[in-house]
Chain A
Amino acid sequence: MEFDDKVPIYYQIKTVIYDQIIAGQLAPGDKLPAIRQLAVSLTVNVNTVQRALREMIDEGVVISQRGRGNFVTSNAEIVEQLKQELIDRYLKQLYDQLHRLNISDEQIVNEVTAYIERQGDLNDDNTES
């Protein structure tokens, strides 16, 4: 995979794995690939994968079982919280940028609603053709 070399690699590895957990590609209780296997598939250093894992373990999202490997937590609450944090982060970005342009809260809500409707239409068009 391609990394942005301006951002710490361990942080980007964490983001990739968290995205997979939120999207359900990695289900609660699933075993993560072995460290070296992760390193090879992401083309990164084993130590960097280890650092990303340590942080995910500290944050309670990944559970390390000695001798058995690393697992996605089966605590649905933690996964839900992770998802909420990600949504908040993207919304904050959007809100901050629009707010800086002096666009009112009401208009932001209207624009987002209208945008979603347009996207919906687009998706319908695509499925028809």
Chain B
Amino acid sequence: MTTTLKVENLNYRRNLKRILADVSLSLTGNKIVGLLGENGAGKTTLMRLIAGVAKNAKGIISVNDKTDLATRKSLISYSNPLGGMATNKRISEVKDFYQQVYPDFDEQKYNQMITFLKLDESQRLSALSKGTREKLVISLTLARQASVYLLDEPFSGIDSMSRKKIINSIIQWKPADSLMVISDHYVSEIAPILDEIVVVKDNTIVVHKAADTIREESGQSIEDYYESLYGEADSND
């Protein structure tokens, strides 16, 4: 069986500051994995490196056993927070752009999602609330037919109604054979949909476990377990 996503001895520094140290991770199958850690722990950097948006790390990253950047990028759909888009663009124009750039963009699926999430395609990016913007990001990210989906903090600063809608879209439209990694620093809201959790702390991965195994072994909620990792020793992160 090929490993869907594999990271081996990844080391990354920026401005002489160590961001990631000896990160190794192996994810297989069609799981939903929670990438957890405090703000600044290195979650976003790890995702950007995996997606190929950030470069120059030491170590190996492979998707379906392929390591070269172009192949990797074609297999990964990463929730880019629309950073490069001009704010006067309409939703429909952003979609057109995605459709041109990504040959695996499934317009029919995209249309189902924006109908479900009640997005108005004529709206400009500058007029979108944080929740609506995130709904658009999720629709664009999931509309691609990829092997790996990376969602970077899709729930931060979003009201609970939008959150539920987004979680429902994920369950409904995540392709059955794909792997999904969702990063968050607040776990309780997504805990029921996670197969596994990966915790980044002090620049490296300290835990990689199945969610139901944690519940079974410790009798703790995922949130309590996650917080207990920070309990005793003071982290300097």
Contact = CB atoms under 8 A, between A and B. Distances in A.
B193 A45 contact: yes
What is the predominant secondary structure among interface residues of chain B facing chain A?
Answer: helix
Interface string A10-47: 11000000000000000000000000100110011111
B18 interface: no
Contacts of A45: 32, 171, 192-195
B216 interface: yes
Interface stretch (A1-9, A66-74, A87-95, A118-126): A1-9
B220 interface: yes
B223 A46 contact: no
B40 interface: no
Interface of B: 30-32, 164, 167-168, 171-172, 174, 176, 188, 191-195, 211-212, 215-216, 219-224
Contacts of B174: 46
Q: When A and B form their complex, which 6 residue pairs have the shortest distance between CB atoms, in order from nearest?
A: A5-B221, A8-B212, A8-B215, A45-B193, A6-B221, A39-B171
A48 B195 contact: yes
Nearest to A50: B30
B8 to A, nearest CB: 25
B211 A9 contact: yes
A45 B223 CA distance: 18
B163 to A, nearest CB: 11
Interface of A: 3-11, 36, 39-40, 43-48, 51
Given A8-B215, A36-B171, 10 more contacts: A5-B221, A11-B212, A40-B168, A40-B171, A40-B172, A43-B171, A44-B193, A46-B30, A46-B176, A48-B212
Contacts of B221: 4-6
Contact of B212 (A4, A9, A40, A46): A9
